[in-house]
């Protein structure tokens, strides 16, 4: 069992207070995100048809939950794991102009997740996607979006403090940008998770750029699917990747926590490059990939922001189960109960 029990931990607010602030927190964050990035809300699917290429395979090894549909000749559907590719198709289908975008509540199941303080079988995110011009596929565009998301996180942190004075804002005002190659050069003897812990503890909040391509040791900082984020393009400053993660230092658990992943999406050229790198060229026949290769989809930037992960961080909770109702191993439930961690 992977479980961190902070010494002397006690939630700063009660379960009833937690339930009350959760919806307020989500509403406040959602409105800020929509306003800052110029996004309109759309309805998201819980499942998509298998074989369309719309479901995301994340790092490439996770199994989607699959079921057959009786009234559709037993066609198989998959519960979504994220909506990166679906959102980009919706930009075209909703005829969204460049400079504007969409967002949605994404609910996903990830049965292969290793359960601990930060990981659950159930994932809820603010998934967003914004249409941009081809010339905006730059590191500058990525950084501008990161700063807008970060300012919204900071505003929401203060919003919570106005209701519960004991929950003190602790995230830094500014977020630091660093490429995964630079982080590797700083800590070559550490694994990626240990590097994140080091840099997050040092700065409080960082955006690690370029996740998916190989580092000097032949391994990526973390795996990314080849068909949504652009992780192979060379950037203006000589590194690779137009995507990344916001990582913050969690004072309660004393470790780094990822709040959101985002990136400039692949164009035709980078799609083919990355499919070749990962050995997934057979995907070019799938619906999403055909539409992208046929110039039917706009250039875009997008990401997913963990709702309960962000709530957990801002409310200074020790376990994601304190802000989300899910299923946990019996041993974990009992250990949390004995340690004063009240799972929903």
40-54, 66-80, 265-279 — most confident range = 265-279
Quickly state the pLDDT bin for 109 (edges 50, 70, 90): confident
Distance CA 206, CA 244 (A): 10
Distance CA 147, CA 175 (A): 8
How does pLDDT run across 225-262, given as a tens digit for each residue? 899 999 999 998 889 999 999 999 999 999 999 999 99
Q: What percent of the chain has pLDDT over 70?
A: 98
Distance CA 257, CA 309 (A): 8
Quickly state the pLDDT bin for 341 (edges 50, 70, 90): very high
DSSP H helices, the chain, are 15-37, 84-93, 139-163, 180-186, 192-203, 268-278, 287-293, 307-314, 330-338
Task: Give the per-residue pLDDT at 166.
Answer: 97
Contact call for residues 149 and 263 (beta carbons, < 8 A): no
Backbone torsions φ then ψ of 101, nearest 5 degrees: -160, -165
Residues assigned a catalytic role: 56, 110, 125, 245, 258, 261
Task: Give the per-residue pLDDT at 320.
Answer: 95
Backbone torsions φ then ψ of 124, nearest 5 degrees: -125, 130
**Tokens representing 278?**
């990962």
Contact call for residues 193 and 201 (beta carbons, < 8 A): no
Residue 299 has pLDDT above 80, yes or no: yes
- Nearest CA to 264 out of 131, 148, 149, 174 is that of 131
Q: Which domains does the chain have, with CATH numbers?
A: 15-338 (3.30.930.10)
Average pLDDT, the chain: 93
Mean pLDDT, rounded, for 89-114 = 92
- Nearest CA to 318 out of 331, 337, 305, 303 is that of 337
Task: Give the per-residue pLDDT at 84.
Answer: 85
Residue 120 has pLDDT above 80, yes or no: yes
Task: Give the per-residue pLDDT at 16.
Answer: 93
Residue 61 has pLDDT above 70, yes or no: no
Task: Give the per-residue pLDDT at 57.
Answer: 64
Q: How many helices (H) and strands (E) does the chain have?
A: 9, 11
Residue tagged 């830094």 (tokens): 172
Quickly state the pLDDT bin for 174 (edges 50, 70, 90): very high
């Amino acid at each position: 069992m992977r479980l961190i029990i902070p010494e002397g931990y006690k939630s700063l607010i009660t379960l009833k207070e937690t339930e009350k602030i959760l919806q307020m927190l989500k509403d406040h964050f959602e409105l800020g995100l929509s306003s800052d990035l110029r996004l309109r809300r759309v309805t998201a699917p819980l499942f998509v048809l298998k074989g369309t290429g719309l479901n995301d395979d994340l790092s490439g090894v996770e199994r989607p939950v699959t079921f057959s549909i009786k009234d559709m000749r037993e066609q198989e559907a998959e519960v979504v794991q994220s909506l990166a590719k679906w959102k980009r198709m919706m930009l075209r289908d909703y005829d969204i102009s460049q400079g504007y975008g969409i967002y949605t509540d994404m609910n996903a199941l990830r049965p292969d997740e290793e359960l601990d303080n930060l990981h659950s079988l159930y994932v809820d995110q603010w998934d967003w996607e914004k249409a941009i011009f081809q010339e905006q596929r730059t590191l500058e565009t990525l950084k501008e979006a990161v700063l807008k998301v970060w300012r919204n996180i900071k505003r929401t942190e203060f919003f919570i403090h106005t209701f519960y004075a004991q929950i003190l804002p602790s995230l830094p005002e500014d977020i630091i940008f660093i490429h995964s190659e630079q982080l590797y050069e700083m800590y070559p003897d550490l694994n990626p998770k240990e590097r994140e812990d080091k840099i997050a503890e040092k700065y409080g909040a960082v955006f690690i750029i370029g996740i998916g391509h190989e580092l000097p040791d032949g391994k990526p900082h973390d795996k990314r699917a080849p068909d949504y984020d652009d992780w192979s393009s060379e950037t203006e400053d000589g590194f690779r990747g137009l995507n990344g993660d916001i990582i913050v230092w969690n004072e309660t658990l004393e470790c780094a926590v990822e709040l959101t992943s985002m990136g400039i999406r692949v164009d035709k050229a980078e799609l083919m490059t990355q499919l070749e790198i990962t050995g997934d060229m057979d995907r070019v026949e799938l619906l999403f990939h055909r539409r992208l290769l046929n110039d039917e989809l706009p250039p875009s930037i997008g990401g997913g922001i963990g709702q309960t992960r962000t709530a957990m961080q801002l409310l200074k909770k020790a376990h994601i189960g304190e802000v989300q109702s899910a299923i946990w191993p019996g041993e974990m439930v009992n250990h949390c109960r004995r340690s004063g961690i009240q799972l929903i």
